[in-house]
Structure 1
């Protein structure tokens, strides 16, 4: 039986590595195996920022990939946490009765939803701000090259 609270927290904490998909759908889930790719690209972007600074073009392309992946997983955690017990059990516990206990929402689930909302929103906004700032600074530098 797949527990909604555990799935919510796995999605928030281990979502960028695909842990929630493996928990809910098994190790044969191809999307679970693909999720670490944008996560690793984003981590490579962080390493480039440390090595070359924030002016490196690849870092401002790769870094938001990690943020968007994390924000998407936080949104998925919110969706899982807000799912009704009937819908949860029908989707992930089809042999269980509609009101089975693993699909119920408790305070730990609500706390997971709230943390996912706060952290996911902060990461998403920071990723958008970083990528737009770097893009516009790049455009200004290119315009300066043209005008000289």
Structure 2
């Protein structure tokens, strides 16, 4: 969902949002980056929350199994760090950034349905303390990612 659409929904929402809540929503989207492998990372205070994109979830279908890296693991950008399996296919989970895993969404191991209902929010996979912020420069912003997905679908 684009920031423009998100902001329109917030403005039109009948439920009032407090200022802190609305700012945290915008901060999360302003710092979100994407990979051509269909992972996303949202950065907050040097910690990246990582997951698969909505596009990936829709392409894969219902996710039935998730393997995430363990807390404490050292990750290197571009390495396979887990697996996401659906009723259609299985795919490697490739980390978009390097660093130490500080939290894993272990609840997904028992019940991966959160990835189906919210792959870019409650369906996050793991959190990593970044070891090299410059790695973010090679990732796609939302507009570039959407353009990449459109081109990929056209082939």
User: Does TM-score exceed 0.5, indicating one fold?
Assistant: no
Q: Structure 1 length as normaliser, TM-score?
A: 0.26
Greater per-residue strand proportion: 2
Higher RCO, 1 vs 2 (CA within 8 Å, ≥6 residues apart): 1
Q: Structure 2 length as normaliser, TM-score?
A: 0.25
